[in-house]
Structure 1
């Protein structure tokens, strides 16, 4: 039976409970992490828990965790035991929850990872809740640390100077307008910048407040480098940089797109200073950015409207439209004039023949 001091999972966390959650998940509850930047994350936290109760067969979403405090405890076990195999974590939690239901404990672990690290870890039966988002499977013999390293590898792709350069017009808003790109906002960091080439859909992880919170939870090592509790600080920083790159504050088309989709992360610090100009400056997300650049950004416009809006190469744009709007009409007029002139000459010749024969 749930203690009166503990809030059941289906209840929205009150102030003190929410502070406990943030203290555990992000290290310290400060105004820097607070209200504005964490609003999107807190909405996600409630939504993800409720998602398990909607449209799921009875018993499918059973959990060992019953309260928000249970999730906090699981998070603490995972954080301290990041080098331990999942099966060892499960064994400890089976004892803590006094249960033999392995599936209920496993699903509680997965839920905690989705809420704490925003990794889409879930078993195949629950993957139907988000069919467009590939689930991650954490194997029994693997530690959390190894699991994360396997899914966030640094790129080994080598690029030349010219192919690595990024144009200022390399923004999502521009690709939506010119290249027929569509955006899907994802709640899982592992899904960030995933491109569905067939449907021309780009997944974007917009929770900058979460990224900042995780960065603030990082500790500093002996060399003065930030080391995150679990997710690499360099990964978190680079993810923020990709958001600033693809959704620049100075771009009016970007602001219009974000307003249309109800996104506010562009107003959340940090803003990362100067814009990145090369793909070589990215390590974790280089390959996905390269795919986006090659398959979408460099693609030719598919409609006349997109062609009109395409200013990626101003010289080519002016040349094309001058040819289309000036030279082509002149050519058509010249052709018509030649036809009329030829027809007049033929008629004149016919008249001359008629007069001679008459």
Structure 2
């Protein structure tokens, strides 16, 4: 791994991040779209690491505790990967005289770094959105239980049209596409269905395309397929606004382009309900600006009818203005002519 990607991290932090990003022997030789592993980008995850570290690294009063060290966090992550129950991890930290609050923050930090989901509410956090709480058992069991709930909404053989992508969602339906670092918030509509959250860390997902991943089988590939659906590699266009001041993973633009069968909603399991809700919001949205009317090609007859009406209105208005100007000139000439 190129160490210059982590030039802002100290040596201990660098070792921790590199250990989290080491490819295992079970990894596929090719990435999701057929590229080689050296095409991955690490800057987005490093930025995420720094922000989570300064947000959750535990202190006891004004004294820094040993639980803040990257070595301690690395040991916690190793215990989590070995499916050690949370209760045992807590007991191990307590045995080293780590304060109770520091234990909680250390575990939440380790989990956030490992799975990129928002575990635990941080101090001064305003309006926390779906902060997960892992209370007992192994993290693998918790994550599998979180994502393995069966879909509740019927897809009724719905096919997502080719116009259904991030650009159209933003410029036709008027739904802002915003990136998030929280995998659990992927494809979530918020703010009265006016903003769509998209997990943009495609490089992170590529590193977890492994049978030994802590995520359920198929979740990572399906998430990459949703990114290819929203940001097709063949015609990627700018669609988003960065609202969390994060470094966007450039791998997002390289997740491939979905084929026709990849647009069948029934082919999705983990994200099906959110795709159904998003498709419904997309279908129900009506253009509110001329720009949205221009880009909205979902109904060709309606689009042509609207713009023909606009054209007729413009011609009629123009002719009316011309006639009014001519009439004014005639009156002016008649008034100014010698009697």
**Fold agreement, TM-score > 0.5:** yes
Shift of 1:33: 4.7
State the 1:22 CA deviation: 2.6
Aligned equivalents of 2:88 and 2:13: distance in 1?
32
Residue 294 of structure 1 and its aligned partner are, at CA, apart by: 0.5
Question: Does the alignment pair 1:233 with 2:217?
Answer: yes
Structure 1 Cα separation of the partners of residues 304 and 63 of structure 2 = 59
Q: Give the conservation status (yes or no) of the 8 Å contact 1:113–1:119.
A: yes
Match for residue 229 of structure 2?
245
Structure 2 residue aligned with 1:75, among 77, 80, 84?
77
Q: 1:146 maps to what in 2?
A: 141
User: CA separation of 1:322/1:60 partners in 2, compared to 1, >3 Å: closer, same or farther?
Assistant: farther
Query: Which residue number corresponds to residue 108 of structure 1?
Result: 106
Supply the RMSD in Å over aligned alpha carbons. 3.5
Matched residues in 1 for 2:59 and 2:67: separation?
18
Cα shift at 1:12:
6.0
SS for the counterpart of 1:183 is strand
How far apart, in 2, do the equivalents of 1:298 and 1:167 lie? Answer: 15
Matched, 1:159 2:155: yes
Distance 1:260 1:114 in 2: 21
Secondary structure at the aligned position of 1:255 is classed as coil
Q: Is the 8 A contact 2:179 2:197 kept in 1?
A: yes
- Give a deviation string over 1:259-282, Cα, whole Å, max 9, x none: 9997422344x5266352211111
Structure-1 separation of matches of 2:152 and 2:38? 37
Contact 1:12-1:46 at 8 Å conserved across structures? no
1:296 maps onto 2:282 in alignment:
yes
Q: Quick check: which has more Rg, 1 or 2?
A: 1
TM-score, normalized by length of structure 2? Answer: 0.75
Partner of 2:237: 255
Give a deviation string over 1:50-80, Cα, whole Å, max 9, x none. 2347xx9984997652322222111111111
Q: How far apart are the structure 2 equivalents of 1:287 and 1:332?
A: 50
Q: Could you say if the C-alpha distance between residues 324 and 35 of structure 1 is closer, same or farther in structure 2, counting changes exceeding 3 Å?
A: closer
Q: Report SS of the residue matched to 1:121.
A: coil
1:197-243 CA distance string (max 9 Å, x none):
5160111100000000111xx2xxxxxxxx33311231111100000
- In structure 2, the CA distance between the partners of 1:17 and 1:186, relative to structure 1 (3 Å rule), is closer
Q: CA separation in 1, counterparts of 2:207 and 2:63?
A: 29
1:65 aligns with 2:67: yes
Shift of 1:46: 2.1
Which residue number in structure 1 is paired with residue 87 of structure 2?
87
Report Cα offsets for 1:120-141 as digits up to 9, x if no partner.
101x3x16446464211112x3
Which position in structure 1 is the counterpart of 2:130?
A: 134
Contact 1:94 1:102 in 2 (8 A): yes
Q: Which residue of 1 aligns with 2:184?
A: 190
Task: Please report how far the alpha carbon of residue 180 of structure 1 lies from its aligned counterpart in structure 2 after TM superposition.
Answer: 1.6
Distance 2:128 2:63 in 1: 19
Q: Which residue of 1 aligns with 2:333?
A: none
How far apart are residue 298 of structure 1 and its match?
A: 3.4
1:182–1:41: structure 2 CA closer, same or farther, 3 Å change rule? same
Q: Hey, what's the Cα distance between the residues in 2 that align with 1:60 and 1:297?
A: 54
Question: 1:12-68: per-residue Cα shift (whole Å, max 9, x none)?
Answer: 657655433433xx5469995557432321222122212347xx9984997652322
1:313–1:61 CA distance, 2 compared to 1 (3 A): farther
In the alignment, the residues of structure 2 paired with residue 42 and residue 49 of structure 1 have an alpha-carbon distance, to the nearest angstrom, of 10
How far apart, in 1, do the equivalents of 2:131 and 2:201 lie? Answer: 19
* Aligned mate of 2:207, from 209, 213, 225: 213
Aligned-pair CA distance for 1:158 = 2.8
What is the aligned partner in structure 2 of residue 311 from structure 1?
Answer: 297
Alpha carbons 1:63, 1:108 under 8 Å: kept: no
Distance 1:62 1:105, change over 3 A: farther
Which TM-score applies when normalising by structure 1?
0.72
Q: Matched residues in 2 for 1:180 and 1:277: separation?
A: 22
What do residues 118-177 of structure 1 show as CA deviations (whole Å, max 9, x unaligned)?
11101x3x16446464211112x343233212321231433222xx11110101111211
